[in-house]
């Protein structure tokens, strides 16, 4: 059973990293939004490409955090059901 748990742990982000990663991503997205708001008249194609790239990476990281959070909740629920019996 330990081998199975170790394999499952490797597929998710560590539980302690999920909230700090989310906060970092949200602050980067807020900075991008502020940059766009204050420089809307001066933006060029390269600015848009960089901002789209940042948003795409942020979306993937947020999705990974969501999947990892669901994984850890599922693991907690299964360990509670095993301990409760």
Q: Is residue 8 part of a domain?
A: no
Q: Is residue 7 part of a domain?
A: no
| Total domains present in the chain | 1
Q: Is residue 18 part of a domain?
A: no
The arithmetic mean of pLDDT across residues 18-36, rounded, is 95
Q: 5 or 19, which is more confident?
A: 19
Its domain, for residue 50, covers 43-73
Q: Is residue 68 part of a domain?
A: yes
Whether residue 20 is predicted with pLDDT greater than 60 in this model: the reply is yes
pLDDT tens digit sequence for 35-85 = 999 999 998 999 999 999 999 999 999 999 999 999 999 988 888 777 665
- CA–CA separation, 26 vs 20, rounded Å? 10
Question: Which among 77, 78, 80, 69 has a CA at the least distance from the CA of 12?
Answer: 69
Angle at 27 between CA 21 and CA 29, to 5 degrees: 105
């Amino acid at each position: 059973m330990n081998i199975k748990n170790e394999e499952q742990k490797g597929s998710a982000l560590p539980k302690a990293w999920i909230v700090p990663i989310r906060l970092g991503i949200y602050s980067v997205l807020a900075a991008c939004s502020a940059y766009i708001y204050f420089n809307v008249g001066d933006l060029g194609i390269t600015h848009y490409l960089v901002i789209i790239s940042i948003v795409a990476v942020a979306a993937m990281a947020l999705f990974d955090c969501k999947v990892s959070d669901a994984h850890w909740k599922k693991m907690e629920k299964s360990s509670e059901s095993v301990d409760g019996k």
